[in-house]
Structure formats: structure tokens, C-alpha cells
């Protein structure tokens, strides 16, 4: 994982779009910086893999690949397999955090 100071134009635009949709930023309680996280159901695994490759240089251990988890749907309590990745905490996500996060609003996404 490199210590870049800003995202490429392409990745900046992708991040903005994903934050308007299914992506989210997380700020661990002990950190001042943010990480980016993206998850989808198994039917969209190819999309997750595509995005994983785009964010590869910001992921702490890319050799471990995309992660898989089980999630229970709220509507009908079905178990679903989801694929996700998250970047390491990095200053390149600070600007997006200033746009999308409200102050003192910490949300933890759980599986």
C-alpha cells in the first residue's frame, strides 16, 4: 500500500459515485483518517472484483483478495453471501469524508 496524497481523477470519480450508492467511508475510533469499503451480493461478484483491482494499491493486503461474509436480510431473514473489500486508512479519502460525513456521526457497518 502506497502513501499517495490524492486519488487519480478516475478513482476520485469512481469513489464519489460509489459513495452516492453502495460504498461507504469508515473512520476507526482510534484513527483520524478514513478507509473506503464496498460490498455487494454474490450476483455482483464480478463488479466487486473489478473495483478491487481499481483500489488495489490502497488495500493493505491485496494478496488476500476480496473477502466473503454471510448476511441475513432484514426483510425475509434469508442468508446471503456477500463479497466486499476495504482499503487501509488513508488521507486520500479525507476530502470525500468532508463531503459525505457529518461531524460526530460514526456508523459501523456490521455483517
Per-residue pLDDT tens digits for 58-78: 999 999 999 999 888 777 788
pTM equals 0.82
pLDDT value at residue 111: 38
HSE of 88, CA atoms in CB hemisphere, 13 A: 12
Q: So what's the architecture of 9-100 in CATH?
A: Roll (3.10)
| Helix ranges (DSSP H) in 1-111 | 9-20, 45-55, 94-100
Domain residues of the chain, as ranges? 9-100
Per-residue pLDDT tens digits for 14-73: 999 999 999 999 999 899 999 999 999 999 999 999 999 999 999 999 999 999 998 887
Amino acid at each position: 500500500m502506497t502513501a499517495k496524497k490524492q486519488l487519480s481523477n478516475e478513482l476520485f470519480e469512481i469513489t464519489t459515485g460509489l459513495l452516492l450508492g453502495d460504498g461507504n467511508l469508515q473512520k476507526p475510533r482510534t484513527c483520524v483518517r478514513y478507509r473506503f469499503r464496498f460490498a455487494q451480493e454474490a450476483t455482483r461478484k464480478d463488479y466487486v472484483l473489478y473495483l478491487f483491482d481499481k483500489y488495489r494499491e490502497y488495500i493493505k493486503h491485496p494478496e488476500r483478495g476480496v473477502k466473503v461474509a454471510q448476511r441475513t436480510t432484514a426483510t425475509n431473514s434469508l442468508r446471503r453471501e456477500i463479497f466486499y473489500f476495504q482499503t487501509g486508512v488513508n488521507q486520500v479519502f479525507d476530502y470525500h469524508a468532508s463531503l459525505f460525513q457529518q461531524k460526530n456521526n460514526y456508523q459501523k457497518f456490521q455483517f
